[in-house]
Amino acid sequence: MVSEPVIKTVHLDCFFGSQRVLRDINIEISPNEILGIIGPANSGKTTFLRALNRLNYLHRTYSQTGEILLDGRDTRTLSDNLLRKKIGIIFALPQVLPVTIFENVAYGLKVHGTTNKETVRRTVEEALQRAYLWEEVKDRLQEPAVRLSGGQQQRLCIARTLAVGPQVILYDEPCSGLDPISTAKVEDAMQQLKTDYTQILVTNNTKQASRVSERCAFFLMGELVEIGPTHDLFTIPQDKRTDDYITGRFG
Amino acid sequence: MNGAKIRQQIAFSILGGITLLVVVPIILVILYIVINGAGAISWQFLTEAPRNGMKAGGIFPAIVGTIALVIGTMLFSLPLGVLSAIYLVEYARDDWFTRMIKLSVVNLSGIPSIVYGLFGFTAFVLLLRLGTSILAGSLTLAIMSLPVIITASKEALESVPFTYREISLSLGATKWQTIRYCVLPYAIPGILTGTVLSLSRAAGETAPILFTVAAFYLPRLPHSAFDQVMALPYHLYVIATQVPNIPISLSFATALTLIALVFLMNLVSIILRAHYRKKRLW
């Protein structure tokens, strides 16, 4: 990779209580790439993702050592609010707030102090368009967000994240609760977002990783086993454990 | 019908019957009071001061006194209770200090009301030199109301899904913004319920106001928060037991007024609750 990494972790170790969940993770993520992260349950994928925007700290026993750099800058120098504004996240299950469609997307603007009504309206529209949801909801913005289907809700969550203007978007198994058609729509949205955002996709679905990502990382029991171009990782894995996992020979 | 279905029917009927039994006492109490007291209720009774050593005239000062006490109690206990609950649910770590606070709240609710009265008398009336006054009475009732308000608010806050907080924080909101926009609005119905419940109880308490605010016979309205007032529950006690030859219908009419006042408060809370429920769009 030639360009400066957007995110770089250096000797990242993560703990819940005394248990080490991630061990010495060193990853560099380039601008505008989609990095897939695969691995079995309890391999630390989600912990890695949530370490990047410090959501892990919502658990009181959590601690981490090592460095996480955003644009070459140690993220410990950023406040939680600013860091999470720059690194947005989409959760596994579509999680909408019990307010209208419009208010869901506008929420991030409200907390970051955008009060101009016209700016808010325009930003919400743009975000919904980029998340491929605008056409479906433009006439029902004042309806409760919970009335949307699961796939629409997940794209609403993407729009909500886009509205605050992030640099990086994290996806934590974003399609685990969705049908194939909704999944395809979310994946389309991700492809379109590549031009402006760096995206990291944690997924249990190896096929999805191979469809969407350019590079892919394989996590196992808290370790980064292998990382490389997705095509290579799936065809000529360097590590036997990767090979075992992607060919389904895993214990 | 087979055996299992019949047994189920019997079980349902028994459960239904028992539940119905709960309703019977309250209906009887209200009916009894209405039948005996409604006749004595009149515009004069509600708007005039008592005369003739309370044997005639109305109960207006006592109504005003009770309303003043309820408002005073709310002013102290609502902010204190809700803010404590927010601290306990959203901020406090699970350490000995937090456990001590929670234990205190539980124990506070177990203290007999007369003890609150005595405490209020020594602490507020004598020590803080507030005198027997609305202020002292409200503070005493507020302390008594705190446990219910804190417990209800805590439960209301805890029942707001954790995901709302997670969404808000993940978008870069501060902790306070998260509480303000994503937690409190959905906890308000529960908080209101607890508050009104404890205020209704405060409105009807006699023991805590006995030494701190209640006047035996004061046929005028209070001038300030440092004044004594008559209050409905204490007035009821006085005319029912302390003054001879008072028509019993006056006692029942006073009781009816007190109950009506409490029902009115509950009604307001039901309306407010419905209003806030609508805000949560399911």
The answer to whether residue B121 sits within a structural domain is no
The answer to whether residue A157 sits within a structural domain is yes
The answer to whether residue A1 sits within a structural domain is no
Q: Among candidates B27, B26, B17, B139, which has minimal Cα distance to B75?
A: B139
pLDDT surpassing 50 at residue B17: yes
The answer to whether residue A116 sits within a structural domain is yes
CATH number for position A130: 3.40.50.300
Out of B163, B170, B186, the one facing A53 most closely (by C-beta) is: B170
The answer to whether residue B164 sits within a structural domain is yes
Asked if A146 has any chain B CB less than 8 Å from its own CB, the reply is yes
Q: How far apart are CA B30 and CA B34, in angstroms?
A: 6
pLDDT averaged over every residue in chain B: 91
- What pLDDT is recorded for position A251? 44
Q: Among candidates A96, A105, A95, which has minimal Cα distance to A129?
A: A105
CB distance A159 to A107 below 8 Å:
no
- What pLDDT is recorded for position A250? 62
Out of B166, B167, B282, the one facing A146 most closely (by C-beta) is: B282
User: Per the CB < 8 Å rule, is B281 touching A89?
Assistant: no
SS (H, E, C) B90-140: HHCCCCHHHHHHHHHHHHHCCCCHHHHHHHHHHHHHHHCCCCCCHHHHHHH
**pLDDT tier at B1, thresholds 50, 70, 90:** low
Task: Say how many C-beta atoms besides its own lie within 10 A of residue B166's C-beta.
Answer: 18
Asked if B163 has any chain A CB less than 8 Å from its own CB, the reply is yes
Query: B136: which 2 tokens?
Result: 């002292």
The structural domain count of chain B equals 1
Domain that includes residue A185, residue range: 7-246
pLDDT surpassing 80 at residue B177: yes
Q: How far apart are CA B45 and CA B22, in angstroms?
A: 33
- Identify the sign of the CA torsion A166, A170, A172, A174: positive
Mapping DSSP to helix (H, G, I), strand (E, B) and coil, where does residue A161 land?
helix
Sheet holding A19-29, edge to edge: A19-29, A7-16, A62-70, A73-74
Compute the nearest-CA separation of A216 from chain B (Å): 24
Higher pLDDT among residues B57 and B31, named by residue: B31
The answer to whether residue A50 sits within a structural domain is yes
Q: CA dihedral defined by B48, B267, B144, B74, rounded to 10 degrees?
A: -80
The answer to whether residue A251 sits within a structural domain is no
Q: Among candidates A215, A159, A186, which has minimal Cα distance to A5?
A: A215
Query: Would you tell me the crossing angle of helices A150-163 and A101-111 to the nearest 10 degrees?
Result: 20
- What pLDDT is recorded for position B247? 87
Compute the nearest-CA separation of B171 from chain A (Å): 6
Mean pLDDT of B93-103: 91
- What pLDDT is recorded for position A204? 87
In tens, the pLDDT along A207-242 reads 899 999 999 999 999 999 999 999 999 999 999 899
Q: How far apart are CA A25 and CA A52, in angstroms?
A: 12
Chain B residues with beta carbon closer than 8 angstroms to that of A60: 93-94
Out of B165, B177, B186, the one facing A111 most closely (by C-beta) is: B177
Compute the nearest-CA separation of A23 from chain B (Å): 24
What H or E segment, with its residue span, contains residue A169?
Answer: strand A168-172
Out of A99, A108, A146, the one facing B172 most closely (by C-beta) is: A108
In tens, the pLDDT along B181-203 reads 999 999 999 999 899 989 999 99
Compute the nearest-CA separation of A96 from chain B (Å): 8
- The phi-psi region of residue A15 (left if phi > 0; otherwise alpha if psi is between -120 and 50; otherwise beta) is beta
CB distance B203 to B262 below 8 Å:
yes
Residue of A nearest to B164 (CA): A97
Residue of A nearest to B90 (CA): A58
CB distance A167 to A6 below 8 Å:
yes
The answer to whether residue A162 sits within a structural domain is yes
Mean pLDDT of B128-133: 92
| Strand A87-90 to A168-172 pairing | parallel
Phi, psi of A157 (to 5 degrees): -65, -40
Domain that includes residue B59, residue range: 41-95+147-205+214-279
Mean pLDDT of B231-252: 90
User: Per the CB < 8 Å rule, is A107 touching B163?
Assistant: no
Chain B residues with beta carbon closer than 8 angstroms to that of A96: 167
Residues in chain B: 282
The answer to whether residue B174 sits within a structural domain is yes
The answer to whether residue B13 sits within a structural domain is no
Residues of chain A with pLDDT under 50: 1, 251
Q: What letter represents residue B259's amino acid?
A: I
Q: How far apart are CA B227 and CA B230, in angstroms?
A: 10
The answer to whether residue A140 sits within a structural domain is yes
CATH number for position B231: 1.10.3720
Q: Among candidates A23, A13, A42, which has minimal Cα distance to A223?
A: A23
Asked if B164 has any chain A CB less than 8 Å from its own CB, the reply is yes
The answer to whether residue A113 sits within a structural domain is yes
Query: Would you tell me the crossing angle of helices B184-204 and B134-158 to the nearest 10 degrees?
Result: 140
The answer to whether residue B61 sits within a structural domain is yes
Compute the count of residue pairs across chains A and B with CB atoms less than 8 Å apart. 72
Chain B residues with beta carbon closer than 8 angstroms to that of A81: 172-174
CB distance B230 to B65 below 8 Å:
yes
The structural domain count of chain A equals 1
**pLDDT tier at B282, thresholds 50, 70, 90:** low
Asked if B182 has any chain A CB less than 8 Å from its own CB, the reply is yes
Query: A158: which 2 tokens?
Result: 């993407």
Residue of B nearest to A84 (CA): B172
The answer to whether residue B165 sits within a structural domain is yes
